[in-house]
Amino acid sequence: MSMRECEKPAQESGHPYRRQPRWNRERQEDRQWLCSHGGQVAQAARKASVPHRFRRMPPAPEVPVLQGEIRGYADFMPRGWAQDRAVVADAQTDCVRPRKSSARLMSNGIDQSQFAGNRSGSSSRRHRFPSISIPARFRRLALCIREADAYSEQADMSDPNELLRTRLEKVIVEGGAAVGDRAAMEAFLELRLALEAGMVRAAEPNPASPTGWRVNAWVKQGILLGFRIGQLQAMDYGLSFIDKDTYPARRFSAEHGVRIVPGGSSVRTGAFLARSVVMMPPSYVNVGAYVDEGTMIDSHALVGSCAQVGKRVHLSAAAQIGGVLEPVNASPVILEDDVLVGGNCGVYEGTIVRRKAVLAAGTILTRGTPLYDAVHGEVIRAEGDKPLIVPESAVVVPGARAVSKGRAREMGLSVYTPVIAKFRDEKTELSLALEDLLR
């Protein structure tokens, strides 16, 4: 009798009294079970193993196909996926299969609860996922379904960032226990990559907010998580330095469309620079910063952590855009579209500069500095949770105000204060048009 005949069921092999080996019967059962439940494996992969924003959705909701566009993301994907990224989808047969493998995972809509543990009547020695000859990366998916279902119950899947937020919040509450935790590192690396792609921001426009911006505190917490779980490491990018291994210097290529002139400029990983951004040396962009299209970062300019810089903004030489990483609920510094920041200006402590505003050279804006509107006779201050907000199209210059009490009054002293001298007019527009030509 051949080995193949032995593997047939007893009633088909012609030997009604011959029993198959236990391991062979279980292997056949596992093959049948896998083919019956393969669609749930694909669903688990979409929910648990492949990050939401880096997968292609199937052509129709009823087709449970895992698309295989995951080659460029091995750095942050789970270890099993990083070892072999050759996963392909066969939409014609509605199956998911590893390359160079005969295992075909068919879908028939079986309840996910059967993945949570061993099947009824199965051996206690059997793995939670069938122990058959398929890549190990598929075996771990069954263990992820229960956790993925918990995420789905808490997260609104209509928001592509909600699942990442839920994962980060779960890791953040662990505190010091997150150090060395693989799940914490995976969640952080996914956040860092999303920040570099501009898909996640520390603050984003929100018309419903009193300031017009919504602060994403969970993004700041995720950035702080990177400092907590990172380890000091010596790095060499032409210049030797030591920093957390979770925040190396970011590398660019010509495909990014970002112009970085040689001479000492640096961008930290986790910062977003859109196409047509120009960095003159030396300048620096910190983690969490968002710099939109057409912005010029001039020499000795600094864009701090989580700062939000809009389109066509000019940061002149030695301009300082402060970072607001803590407290996490505080608004970062925000420069809206078409803002001109003069040389040696400083914008700090969550100040918001509305679109088309102009800050003359030497202007300093902080939360505690009142802004005098000489045009309308008003004084603009930061109050409560509301930061200092520079009005749209305002032209702000450095000024001074006399001290009205105490010894300083007797001495005839004055203190610095920013002043709105005017709002943009044709003359201002002409000077800015010349600026565009120079750029």
Residue-level pLDDT at 369? 92
Q: What percent of the chain shows pLDDT beyond 90?
A: 49
Degrees to nearest 5, angle at CA 357 with 352 and 359: 90
CATH architecture of 232-438: 3 Solenoid (2.160)
Looking at the predicted structure, is the pLDDT value of residue 365 above 70? yes
Residue-level pLDDT at 115? 40
Residue-level pLDDT at 175? 82
CA 355 to chain centre: 25
**Stretch 189-210: mean pLDDT:** 95
H or E segment and range at residue 10: helix 10-13
Average pLDDT of the chain? 75
Residue-level pLDDT at 267? 96
DSSP secondary structure letters along 80-119: HHHH---EEEETTTTEEEETT----B-B----GGGGSSPP
Q: Which residues of 247-282 are buried (b: 16+ CB within 10 A; e: fewer)?
A: beebeeeeeeebebeeeebbbbbbbbbbeebbbbee
Instruction: Round to whole Å and give the CA distance between 388 and 390.
Output: 7
> Which tens digits make up the pLDDT trace of 118-141?
444 444 444 444 434 445 555 455
Q: Which residue has the tokens 């700062």?
A: 307
Confidence of residue 43 (pLDDT cuts 50, 70, 90): low
The CATH 2.160.10.10 domain(s) of the chain lie at 232-438
Looking at the predicted structure, is the pLDDT value of residue 82 above 90? no
Q: What percent of the chain shows pLDDT beyond 70?
A: 62
Confidence of residue 326 (pLDDT cuts 50, 70, 90): confident
Judge whether 98 and 135 are in contact, CB under 8 Å: yes
> Which tens digits make up the pLDDT trace of 228-238?
999 999 998 77
> Which tens digits make up the pLDDT trace of 158-191?
567 888 999 999 998 888 888 888 999 999 999 9
Q: Provide the 8-state DSSP code for 383.
A: B
Instruction: Round to whole Å and give the CA distance between 335 and 1.
Output: 81
Comparing 233 with 107, the larger pLDDT belongs to 233
H or E segment and range at residue 17: none
Confidence of residue 107 (pLDDT cuts 50, 70, 90): very low
**Stretch 3-15: mean pLDDT:** 46
Looking at the predicted structure, is the pLDDT value of residue 334 above 60? yes
Residues 6+ apart with CB under 8 A from 24: 6, 7
Looking at the predicted structure, is the pLDDT value of residue 80 above 60? no
- For residue 136, give the 3-state DSSP assignment: helix
Q: Provide the 8-state DSSP code for 208.
A: T
